[in-house]
Structure 1
Amino acid sequence: MKNFFKLLNFEVNRIFKLYLTLIGLIIVSQFIGAIVVSKVYMNDADQVMYKNQLSMSQYIKEYGVSPFHRFIESGWFMMPIFFSIAMLMIYVFFIWYRDWFGKNTFIYRLLMLPTERITIYLAKLTTVMLLVLGLVTLQILLIPIEIQIFNSIIPTDLQSHFSFYDIYSLRMWGWLYPKTLTEFILIYGVGLIFVTVLFTAILIERSYGLKGIFFAIIYGMLSFGVLFVPILVNEFDSGYFYALEVFLMELVMSVIVLSSAIWIANHLLKNKIRV
């Protein structure tokens, strides 16, 4: 366990500066966006009131108050999120290939450490999940601040009553921020399995060279096929199984895919990847 935390700390430190840059990009983009979107809204509202000779109350009656959704659905808010997701997806591959193709082939130094090699795998996996959860937590903290920035520019009469929970009207938000513990475990559990399968596929490719690319693709397709087979079967049978039955089958399949991915990775690290 001590070696695991040392490796975890090492992996986090390697990405920390880039991660802070990503956090800074999100904060700056969204804060500027909250200001820009609110000012554009006020400019449009002022023009409409001036052109149509409307009072504030008449404008509100005809057009309503300012929706914070204007900002939530804008590129200022969404683009940093999508960019962060893309960067983390790239990092899933980079966290391994950097060690193989970086200076002095660092992977061999890692594999020669006096610890179980699977510990390296688990440390990298935990690092990726911590990065994801860190950004999710950051966004939770930013929303109330952005609401305050938005409302500081919009007059009180034009402000809409918007809370963090209102963002669940956006479908994507339900995936990023599950409402219940069960949904959280399901969604982020699938994410964990996805990263685990990709990690193992990378090790397959590294173990078998050019043939490994083919083996890795087949492995990935089989893993995700097994993972989603209960849902697919239920769809083809027009909902033959109860929701609880589908959930339990998915749980079993998830355990099988996750455990098999870790077992295969452990086998490859011990017996196929030589130093």
Structure 2
Amino acid sequence: MNNYLKLVSFEWNRFFKVYFVLVIITIISQIAGTIVQARSYLTSMNRTMEMTSISSELEYVREYGEFYFGSISQSMWFIFPVFLSMITLLIYTLFIWYRDWLGKNTFIYRLLMLPTSRLNIFLAKATSIFIMVLGLVALQLILLYAQQNIIQVMIPVDLRETLSITEMIRTFDYMRVLYPITIFDFTVYYGTGLLLIIIIFTAILMERSFRWKGIILGLIYITFSILVFFSQMLVTLFTGEVYLYPLETMIVQIVLGLLVFGMSLGISNYLLKKKVTI
């Protein structure tokens, strides 16, 4: 366990500079976007009142509507850093392995020679990426509180739609995935994300083990794993029939997820021990 934690810390430190840049970009973009959108609303209101017969703020609100958080969450100020972070972490899911093989000193050789189970290297890389995802999700939640306070300071209460954090989350569909309401939803969404990382890692090890043949094997494995994991949904989709009760559906989905997870770990462990050599 101690070696595993050291490897997680090591992988985290290797990506920290890029991760820190993502954090800074997210903070600056979303805070600046909130201020810009709030000032734009106030400027638009003042200009409209000057050019029309509207004489009061309440009359403007009745005519043009309140300031609402959706104008921020659906702007590029908000969306850009989120998708930049998602794309960067997706690329890093591949880069985290190939950097070790294709780097200046083929660092993978030193990793594989460490006095610890090679599977720990695999798990440490997956864990570090998962922690990064959770870190960015936590940062976004903190920023929602900050944006809420900025709106309350800049926009008078009569001119804005007062939203709780939960209501702010519901203004954009992808945020409902990032912040599930129930423990079950959290387990499903983030468990599925972790499983996809493990599947991709396994495909990468296939490519590293068998080269060109491994690319084909990796693509086949990804397709097979996804079909197995979503097989229950596919059966329902193609037949149009629901054969299980909700609780049974949940249990079957968990079993399928654990099956694919265990299969991926088993194959990866075998490849690291028998096929990936130094």
What range describes the TM-score normalised by the shorter chain of this pair? over 0.9
Give 1:236 shift.
2.1
Partners of 2:12 and 2:157 in 1: how far apart? 44
* 8 Å contact kept, 1:231–1:246: no
Greater shift, 154-163 or 218-227, is seen at: 154-163
Other structure's SS at 2:230 match: helix
User: How is 1:67-216 mapped onto 2 (pairs within 5 angstroms)?
Assistant: 67-166=68-167, 167-216=169-218
Find 1:265's aligned residue among 246, 256, 268. Answer: 268
Per the alignment, residue 252 of structure 1 pairs with: 255
Identity among equivalent positions (%) equals 42
Other structure's SS at 2:199 match: helix
Other structure's SS at 1:126 match: helix
Per the alignment, residue 40 of structure 1 pairs with: 40
Give 1:40 shift.
1.1
Partners of 2:126 and 2:228 in 1: how far apart? 21
TM-score by length of 2: 0.96
* 8 Å contact kept, 1:201–1:219: yes
| Structure 2 unaligned blocks of 5 or more | none
1:82-122 deviation digits (Å, cap 9, x = unpaired): 11000000000011000000111000100000111000000
Structure 1 consecutive aligned stretches of length 4 or more whose deviation exceeds 3 Å: none
Greater shift, 61-70 or 256-265, is seen at: 61-70
Greater shift, 164-173 or 251-260, is seen at: 164-173
Partners of 1:51 and 1:101 in 2: how far apart? 64
* 8 Å contact kept, 2:198–2:261: yes
Find 1:221's aligned residue among 220, 223, 227. Answer: 223
TM-score by length of 1: 0.97
* 8 Å contact kept, 2:58–2:159: no
Per the alignment, residue 49 of structure 1 pairs with: 49
* 8 Å contact kept, 2:70–2:172: no
Partners of 1:73 and 1:62 in 2: how far apart? 22
User: How is 1:55-66 mapped onto 2 (pairs within 5 angstroms)?
Assistant: 55-66=56-67
Partners of 2:133 and 2:91 in 1: how far apart? 13
| Structure 1 unaligned blocks of 5 or more | none
1:21 is matched by which residue type in structure 2? V
Q: What is the number of equivalent residue pairs in this alignment?
A: 275
2:252 is matched by which residue type in structure 1? M
Partners of 1:237 and 1:252 in 2: how far apart? 22
* 8 Å contact kept, 1:234–1:246: no
Per the alignment, residue 26 of structure 2 pairs with: 26
Partners of 1:170 and 1:244 in 2: how far apart? 28
1:274 to 2:272 alignment: no
Give 1:15 shift.
0.7
Partners of 2:154 and 2:171 in 1: how far apart? 24
Other structure's SS at 2:79 match: helix
Partners of 1:240 and 1:119 in 2: how far apart? 40
1:45-73 deviation digits (Å, cap 9, x = unpaired): 11222222211121122223211211111
* 8 Å contact kept, 2:34–2:72: yes
1:238-273 deviation digits (Å, cap 9, x = unpaired): 232222222222111101100000000000000001
1:181 is matched by which residue type in structure 2? I
Partners of 1:67 and 1:9 in 2: how far apart? 41
1:43 is matched by which residue type in structure 2? T
